Amino acid sequence: MRFVRAVLTAVLMSAAVLLPASAASAAVNQTFTVWHWNVAGLKIHDGSTGTGLITVLANSIRNRGSHLASLNELCWSQYKAIQSNLRGSGWPQDVENFSRFESTNDTGCEGEQSGIALFSKAPMGTANRVTLPDDGRAEKRKLLCAPLEARPHLRFCTTHITTLDKKINGVEINVQQLDAVRARVKAWHAAGDTVIIAGDFNAQPNYERLDEWYAPSVNTANNRGNTGAYRELDDLDSRCPGYGENSEDDGTPAGPCGPGKKIDLIFVRENRIAGAYDGDSLTVSNDCGGPCSDHRIVIGTVTVSITT
């Protein structure tokens, strides 16, 4: 798969304008490679750690030079196996402080926890664990975030939005969850934080419910009418500008540049991007006795401005 690189020229206002008065005035630019995968830990692997998934996953995190990694649909035993693999290879700087897990169903993987997870090459701070509006199912959708210990104003997050679109209290539940995540991320921005969020949003970039995510500068035939503040790291892909490369090969309805569709996204607030950014999605490995997931790995590299 080819990487699409472009430079977004960011107009960096003075810290007094960009940040609240209570925030520190100094900032530093830092580049991160971000890696995300919905691994279908129960659906495809039945919660097992012996299918080849752990090796494929950990090798990809290392080989892609990832600084930050997130996972959706992960079983607890798989989480522990990934911890062990990455720890044993020397990937984390601190072998006792490089991952966080949040259960979304305490018995969702053959009786053990299933959930979402974060991994960081650098040590992490205290996690934020937010329960999203309830869709009525056994799985309770969450937002999981953690700052970096050495960069407390850089916060890495993951989420997995419901597939349901039924109205609860007059508003579609998937919209309620997206709005809840965006409100929390916006609040952190107002407090001076730079947030990188990756996850399965269960919405394609051109869907109306993401219009309040994408910045107006994303304005193409494939994605227009946006009123938000964020860029998605693959939205400059020349094969599908404004949308990016698919993260599901067989998803329906197909995206504007199909076949397949893109629902796994990595967002960064546009006014915190301080240089080049790019994104890609990777062909699904078949080294798990068949496909390792029904989602592709999505990756991105971005330089961001961080309050110090």
Question: Residue 171's domain is classified under what CATH number?
Answer: 3.60.10.10
Look at 16-20, 70-74, 202-206, 282-286 and tell me which has the smallest mean pLDDT. Answer: 16-20
HEC states along the chain?
CCCEEEECCCCCCCHHHHCCCCCCCCEEEEEEEEEEEECCCCCCCCCCCCCCHHHHHHHHHHHCCCCEEEEEEEEHHHHHHHHHHHHHHCCCCCCCCCEEEEEEEEEEECCEEEEEEEEECCCECCCEEEECCCCCCCCCCEEEEEEECCCCCEEEEEEECCCCCCEECCEEHHHHHHHHHHHHHHHHHHCCCEEEEEEECCCCCCCHHHCCCECCCCCECCECCCCCCEEECCCCCCCCCCCCCCCECCCCCCCCCCCCECCEEEEEEHHHEEEEEEEEEECCCCECCECCCCCCEEEEEEEEEEEC
Residue at 194 is within a domain: yes
User: Residue 22 — very low, low, confident or very high, per pLDDT cuts 50/70/90?
Assistant: very low
Residue at 232 is within a domain: yes
Residue at 38 is within a domain: yes
The pLDDT, as a whole number, for residue 23 is 44
Residue at 8 is within a domain: no
Residue at 12 is within a domain: no
Residue at 18 is within a domain: no
What is the number of domains present in the chain? Answer: 1
Mean pLDDT of the chain: 94
User: Residue 11 — very low, low, confident or very high, per pLDDT cuts 50/70/90?
Assistant: very low
More confident residue, 12 or 176: 176
Q: pLDDT, tens digit, for every residue of 130-142?
A: 999 999 999 999 9
In this predicted structure, the answer to whether residue 228 has a pLDDT above a threshold of 80 is yes
More confident residue, 172 or 22: 172
The pLDDT, as a whole number, for residue 25 is 60
- What's the rounded mean pLDDT across residues 252-265? 95
Range of 112's domain? 26-307
User: Residue 81 — very low, low, confident or very high, per pLDDT cuts 50/70/90?
Assistant: very high
Residue at 1 is within a domain: no
pTM: 0.92
Residue at 2 is within a domain: no
The pLDDT, as a whole number, for residue 251 is 81
